[in-house]
Amino acid sequence: MTALSVDIRVDFPGFALEVVHGFEGQGLTALFGPSGCGKSTLLRVIAGFETSARGRLAYGDEVWLNGRRGLAPHRRGVGYVFQDTRLFPHLSVRGNLDYADKRAADLPARYGFDDVVNALDLGPLFGRGATTLSGGERQRVAMGRALLSRPRLLLMDEPLAALDTRRKGEILPYIARLPGVFGVPVIYVTHAIEEVTQLADRIVALEAGRVVAAGGVAETLERLDLAGVQGRFEAGAVLAGHVVAQDVDMHLTRVDLGGGLALEVPEIRLPVGEAVRLRVRARDVALALARPAGVSIRNMLEAEVLRVEVEAETAYAEVLLALGGQHLRARVTRAALRDLEVVPGQKLVAMIKAAAFDRQALPRG
């Protein structure tokens, strides 16, 4: 269901943002791409902050931009969470929340003040000043304030960019719950693949001011033609599975991928049966003609070659593999490709070190 219809253009010296896309009215859509590709500018256009935009922007039957004439930001019913939070420094946490709640008192909503406070665990922070909060606490308060404005659409502009890995891990579960708990669609700007993997229902990928891909998380990230968006170093695929066992002594978790395939990864603190998505970087996948013996690699998966893409001006090649009903990417040298005589349809063993799943590649409990 398309809720937000975008057909806009913004011109800057040496750069133009030109986007035609329909955003769905549910779940979380990640607006993803490298720095400078136009992600934050597009968010500003949607919010009504970018007055130089032209084109057409509509939310359902309500037109927000027609030509150069735009509806004022405060009339669009959009909540906005900034990277720098922009909390009122002279107010307490309770004061920041009350400000938004009172301004939106007459607007319809499926939730109330206490629902937001409880969902984001904000009660213990009420008496604190905004300037005394940690980065993660500030972002939780900023999310709460945005939700209390009773938005129809929530925009989040790289809210985790300034946080370290531990703080990101604390905030990600809160963000993941927002669409389901509050029934508000979210457009989430990021250039971090691990955030896309753990949060997004779908991706809109931007490069040089244009949409270059859009769709589900797994099918978009596995595409071999999006190196400019993901970057060669972080490019990879997403595997979906369920936690089936915990090795408490070794701090390892076993994830069933379906079709008789499973992965062993460093401990994920989630209960057995919980669904997970795992990001596997292409550079962490090795290929073999047969399952080797006497090696430390914990994960060896039977795979079939679907596609091979050679980078003629480099030492490397990308291989797309089928793992049952899912896909995996491997980045290997052209010499390895030659020696293994890799061709589409060939059966290989894909090998992934358990240690390749670092903290940023794993979901949090």
Question: Mind listing the pLDDT tens digit for each residue in 338-361?
Answer: 999 999 999 999 999 999 986 555
Single-letter residue type at 151: P
Check if 2-221 and 236-356 are the same fold: no
d(C-alpha 27, C-alpha 48), whole Å: 22
Residue ranges per structural domain of the chain = 2-221, 236-356
> Which residues of the chain, if any, have pLDDT below 70?
1-2, 228, 232-233, 358-365
CB 266 within 8 A of CB 252: yes
Tokens of 34: 């490298």
Cα–Cα nearest to 318, from 238, 235, 212, 194:
235
d(C-alpha 321, C-alpha 9), whole Å: 38
In Å, what is the CA distance from 293 to each residue of 288, 297, 298, 348, 352?
12, 10, 11, 15, 14
- Give, in words, the CATH class of 2-221: alpha beta
Tokens of 328: 């995996």
Strands 62-67 and 15-24: unpaired
CB 122 within 8 A of CB 116: yes
CATH topology (fold) of 236-356:
OB fold (Dihydrolipoamide Acetyltransferase, E2P) (2.40.50)
b vs e for 266-294, b when ≥16 Cβ sit within 10 Å of the residue's Cβ? bebebeeebebbbbbbbbbbbbeeeeeee
Give the pLDDT confidence of 163-189 residue by residue, as tens digits.
888 888 888 989 999 999 999 999 999
Q: What is the pLDDT of residue 179?
A: 94
CB 87 within 8 A of CB 130: yes
Q: What is the dihedral of CA 314, 316, 322, 325, to 10 degrees?
A: -70
Reduced DSSP (H G I as helix, E B as strand, rest coil) percent helix, strand, coil of the chain, to 5: 25, 40, 35
Give the pLDDT confidence of 33-44 residue by residue, as tens digits.
988 999 999 999
Q: What is the pLDDT of residue 365?
A: 45
Cα–Cα nearest to 201, from 183, 187, 182:
187
Q: What is the pLDDT of residue 145?
A: 96
Helix extents (H) in the chain: 39-47, 93-103, 113-119, 135-148, 165-182, 193-199, 217-221, 227-230, 334-340
d(C-alpha 66, C-alpha 83), whole Å: 29
3-state SS assignment for residue 264: strand
